[in-house]
Each structure stands twice: as C-alpha cells, then as structure tokens.
Amino acid sequence: QSALGTPTATDAMMTVTIGGFGSLMDEASARATTPSITNWRYGWVDGYVRVFNLVSILNIARGNATGDHLATCTARAVDGAKLRVCLYDVPAAEYPQLLARERRLREVVAPYKDDTGGAGECVIFGEYSDAEYRAERATTDELWHEEGQYCLQSIRISLRL
C-alpha cells in the first residue's frame, strides 16, 4: 500500500505531486502511465542524487536494452546533494498506476522547490537494497518469487521480439 494511502471515491479532486527524474522527466513517458497530468514544471529536491543501479525491465521488454539503455535510475539520499526533477500533479485516482509502474522502487515523500520559488512536497522514487526490498515489499517467499517471475517474463518477451 502507498505511503500516501489508497485513494477513495471522495478523493476525485485530490492530486499527488510527483518529482520525476529519469523516464518520468519525459512528459510523453509520464503521460503513458498517468494521462491526466497537470501543472508540469521543473525544480529541485534537496538531499538526493540520481544513481543508475537497476536493470531496466521496461527497456528489456521493449527490446531497447543495449548499451546506455540497460540501466535505469533511482534516487539515493546523499547529504548536500540536489536532484533536478520535473514536477507535475496527477489525480489521486491515477496514482496507483504510477506505483505499479515504479513497483521496484521506494516511494519517498520529499520537499521540493520549483524554478519559480514555489515549494511543497512531492513523491520521488528511491532505491531499495535487496534486504530492504525483501523486508518491505516481497515479504513472503511467494511475493519474492512473483517479482522474480515478473522480471523473467519481461526478459523472455523481449527475447521473442
């Protein structure tokens, strides 16, 4: 379950601000998952850097996993760092779709400052260690196996393309 709670029917007007980096800095890519994006802008999240530390399952599935396109990035907490992000709002009802897309990443609520001086909180997607992921997300052998099968199936699909 999301750190922000599960949206309900009464949350129809509520939005969640996303701090996108990596593929979420591309508006077309972000809209593929959350088509009702509003308030697209740029800003900074203090205390985080971008690290390329995961194999990109999506690029493998699309047949694009070569060279620089094999890795995908997450956010890592680093004192004194600044992470450049795009900021945008998504309806709470579309937020679960984004969580599913970023399922291997940690949901982090972090303060931001946008380029016009505005400030607030946004969700960024951070890294997990294997131990943290197993403890927090794949809490049973069945869930751990399911995640592994998801990754393997994505690889098998790309090999058929």
Higher pLDDT: 29 or 57? It is 29
- Whole-angstrom Cα distance, residue 144 to residue 64? 26
Backbone phi, then psi, for 143, in 5-degree steps? -65, -40
What integer is the mean pLDDT of 18-36?
Answer: 87
Q: Within 43-122, where are the H helices?
A: 57-62, 95-101
- Has this prediction a pTM greater than 0.75? no
**Mean pLDDT along residues 68-90:** 85
Highest-pLDDT range among 4-8, 122-126, 154-158: 122-126
| Residues 12-32: b if buried by 16+ CB within 10 A, e if exposed | eeebbbbbbbbbbeeeeebee
123 close to 130: Cβ distance less than 8 angstroms: no
Residue 159 has pLDDT above 50, yes or no: no
Of the two residues 128 and 70, the one the predictor is more confident about is 128
* pLDDT surpasses 60 at 119: yes
pLDDT score of 116 more than 90: yes
Whether 158 has a pLDDT exceeding 50, the answer reads: no
Rounded mean pLDDT, 145-161:
48
Q: What local confidence, expressed as pLDDT, does residue 152 receive?
A: 44
**Which structure tokens are listed for 95?**
């937020």
Instruction: Give Cα 23 distance to the centre of its chain.
Output: 9
Q: Is residue 10 predicted with pLDDT exceeding 80?
A: no
Query: What is the C-alpha to C-alpha distance for residues 79 and 21, in angstroms, rounded to an integer?
Result: 18
Residue predicted with more confidence, 42 or 150: 42
Q: Which residue has the higher pLDDT, 143 or 96?
A: 96
